[in-house]
């Protein structure tokens, strides 16, 4: 069963640096930070967590001086200076995000804790999509130097019990330990859960529950690789070590507040007779360009938008029922039909770029940067659970969980974990 435990988190010492706001200290996940926004975060504060999680590299960097050695130095100096502080006792941390989506205010509520590492798909921790290797090397180097989990993995569990929900509701009535507004206007709030009974309620409710990685597959796989490396270097141990756990944000799928957004696909080259090829398997409707592409396909299963330039775009409606030879949990997913049928079988496309902004996709096609854009609906959270429990994986970028968690609210520095 998945083991979830409280820990002694490392937090920014808000009273000590009270003149600095949460916005000055925290940062989005490293993989969505542009070079320009990284410069902006650097300028906000000498304590901004981006200096650790996604620091700048310089031309004269070497094995002894580089962004990873600097990350380690920042952590050590911030703790020494009192900018970072360690929780007095092991605890969980309530984390709530108030955000707006389609003019509606939503609240994503969960908690931060440590989860005992297990091989993916062989226990109670399940991935749902494939990853690329390059980001994992960067995360591995950061973990080696800092000996810490800097940013949490976004994970889901499914529980009809209301114990944890009641705990979080009670805790969140108090003033947050730290609060910050992100660049999208979402409000991120954090509370320490010091009450032993509350922490016990959280631990007990999650006993035997499956955990699904929503966002952070690279970081989980890196944590497994680091654990293996440390066990080789340190030898076996009768007691769990800090590197046997990983920092996670856990939220209940049964609660409201989880939003998944679609990531659209941009294609450099598409066959000139693509519509004729697609017409065998798809009903094709030509739509005027002044119609909202995503609104015209919203809520429809196996329906896609295709834009190839000009004043019109096409709505593609799949005529079939899943893809033959593909496992049941995957065969009728929008992303599977798009990748396995349209890209691989029909159009022979293997070079794909990803973009969430519909207007930017259209602009890039009009400016001839790409020949086509495919638009799709978001994957449903129930699909994530079904695919993960079947020990299968979706194509990369099948889900974009929103809002993104901020980095820097709580760190798990291994020498302080227990």
Both 240 and 271 in a single domain?
Answer: no
Question: Does residue 349 form part of some domain?
Answer: yes
pLDDT of residue 288: 85
CA distance 71 to 77: 10
Question: Does residue 129 form part of some domain?
Answer: yes
Both 287 and 157 in a single domain?
Answer: no
- Domain of residue 315, CATH code: 3.30.1760
CA distance 64 to 173: 47
Question: Does residue 382 form part of some domain?
Answer: no
Question: Does residue 302 form part of some domain?
Answer: yes
Both 124 and 105 in a single domain?
Answer: yes
Domain count along the chain: 2
The single-letter DSSP state of residue 282 is: E
Both 11 and 160 in a single domain?
Answer: yes
Question: Does residue 220 form part of some domain?
Answer: yes
Cβ 156 vs Cβ 250: under 8 Å: yes
Measured in Å, how far apart are the chain's first and last C-alpha atoms? Answer: 21
Question: Does residue 391 form part of some domain?
Answer: no
The position carrying tokens 């529950």 is 209
Both 220 and 312 in a single domain?
Answer: no
Both 347 and 215 in a single domain?
Answer: no
pLDDT of residue 122: 84
Question: Does residue 231 form part of some domain?
Answer: yes
Question: Does residue 169 form part of some domain?
Answer: yes
pLDDT of residue 17: 60
Both 82 and 216 in a single domain?
Answer: yes
Both 365 and 280 in a single domain?
Answer: yes
CA distance 191 to 173: 10
Nearest to 271 by CA among 340, 329, 342, 210: 342
Both 275 and 359 in a single domain?
Answer: yes
Full residue range of the structural domain in which residue 372 is found? 263-377
Both 353 and 239 in a single domain?
Answer: no
Both 128 and 255 in a single domain?
Answer: yes
Q: In tens digits, what is the pLDDT along the chain, a chain of 418 residues?
A: 689 999 999 999 976 665 678 899 999 999 899 999 999 999 999 999 999 999 999 999 999 999 999 999 999 999 999 999 999 999 999 999 999 998 899 999 999 999 999 998 788 999 998 866 666 889 999 999 999 999 999 999 999 998 999 999 999 999 999 999 999 999 999 999 999 999 999 999 999 899 999 999 989 999 999 999 999 999 989 999 999 999 999 999 999 899 999 999 999 999 999 999 999 999 999 998 777 899 999 989 999 999 999 999 999 999 998 888 899 999 999 999 999 999 999 999 989 999 999 999 999 999 999 999 999 999 999 999 999 999 899 998 999 999 999 999 999 999 999 9
Complete DSSP assignment for 73-135: HHHHHHHHHTSEEE-SS-BEEEEEEEEEETTEEEEEEEEEEEEE---TTTSSEE--B---HHH
Both 52 and 193 in a single domain?
Answer: yes
């Amino acid at each position: 069963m998945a083991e979830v435990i409280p820990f002694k988190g490392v937090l920014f010492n808000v009273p000590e640096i009270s003149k600095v706001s949460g916005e000055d200290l925290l940062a989005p996940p490293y993989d969505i930070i542009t070079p320009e926004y990284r410069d902006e975060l650097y300028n906000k504060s000498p304590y901004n967590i981006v200096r650790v999680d996604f620091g700048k590299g310089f031309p004269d960097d070497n094995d002894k001086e580089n962004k990873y050695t600097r990350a380690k130095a920042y952590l050590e100096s911030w703790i020494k200076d009192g900018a970072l502080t360690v929780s007095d006792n092991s605890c969980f941390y309530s984390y709530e995000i108030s955000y707006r989506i389609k003019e509606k205010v939503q609240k994503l509520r969960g908690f931060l804790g440590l989860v005992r590492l297990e091989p993916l798909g062989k226990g109670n921790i399940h991935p749902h999509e494939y990853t690329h290797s390059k980001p994992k090397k960067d995360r591995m180097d950061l973990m080696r130097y800092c000996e810490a989990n800097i940013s949490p993995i976004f994970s889901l569990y499914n529980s009809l019990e209301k114990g944890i929900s009641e705990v979080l509701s009670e805790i969140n009535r108090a003033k947050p330990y730290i609060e910050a507004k992100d660049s999208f206007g979402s409000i991120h709030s954090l509370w320490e859960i010091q009450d032993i009974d509350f922490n016990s309620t959280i631990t007990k409710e999650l006993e035997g529950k499956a955990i699904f990685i929503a966002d952070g597959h690279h970081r989980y796989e890196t944590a497994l690789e680091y654990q293996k490396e440390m066990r080789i270097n340190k030898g076996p141990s009768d007691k769990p070590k800090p590197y046997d756990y990983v920092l996670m944000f856990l939220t209940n799928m049964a609660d409201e507040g989880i939003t998944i957004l679609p990531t659209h696909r941009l294609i450099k080259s598409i066959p000139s007779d693509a519509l004729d090829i697609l017409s065998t398997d798809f009903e094709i409707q030509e739509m005027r360009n002044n119609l909202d592409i995503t609104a015209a396909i919203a809520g429809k299963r196996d329906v896609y938008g295709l834009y190839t330039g000009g004043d019109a775009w096409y709505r593609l409606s799949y005529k079939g029922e899943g893809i033959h030879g593909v496992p049941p949990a995957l065969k009728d997913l929008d992303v599977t039909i798009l990748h396995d049928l349209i890209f691989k079988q029909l159009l022979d496309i293997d070079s794909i770029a990803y973009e969430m902004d519909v207007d930017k996709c259209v602009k890039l096609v009009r400016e001839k940067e790409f020949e086509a854009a495919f638009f799709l609906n978001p994957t449903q959270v129930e699909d994530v659970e079904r695919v993960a429990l079947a020990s299968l994986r979706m194509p990369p970028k099948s889900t974009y969980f929103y809002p993104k968690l901020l980095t820097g609210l709580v760190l798990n520095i291994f020498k302080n974990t227990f």
